[in-house]
Amino acid sequence: MKKYLSLMLLFSAFMMQAQAPTLKAGQAAPDFKLKNVDGKEISFASYPDAKGFIVVFTCNTCPYAIGYEQRIIDLDNKYRSKGYPVIAINPNDPEASKADTFDKMQALAKEKKYPFAYLFDPGQVVTDQYGAKRTPHLFIVSKSAKGTVVEYTGAIDNDPEGTKTDKTKFAESVIDALNSNQKPAITETKEIGCTVKRKAKA
Binding site for another protein (CB under 8 A): 19, 22, 63, 133-134, 137, 155, 158, 160-161, 163, 189-197
Closest distance to another protein from the beta carbon of 175 (Å): 19
Closest distance to another protein from the beta carbon of 177 (Å): 18
Closest distance to another protein from the beta carbon of 112 (Å): 19
Cβ proximity to another protein, 71 vs 134, nearer residue:
134
Cβ proximity to another protein, 50 vs 89, nearer residue:
89
Closest distance to another protein from the beta carbon of 125 (Å): 19
Q: Kindly give, in sequence order, each residue whose CB lies less than 8 Å from that of residue 33, ignoring residues fewer than 6 positions away.
A: 41, 42, 43
CA distance 68 to 119: 17
Cα→Cα distances 79→65, 72, 107, Å: 19, 10, 25
Cβ proximity to another protein, 72 vs 117, nearer residue:
72
**Could you tell me if 33 and 43 are in contact, meaning their C-beta atoms sit under 8 angstroms apart?**
yes
Q: Which amino acid is at 108?
A: L
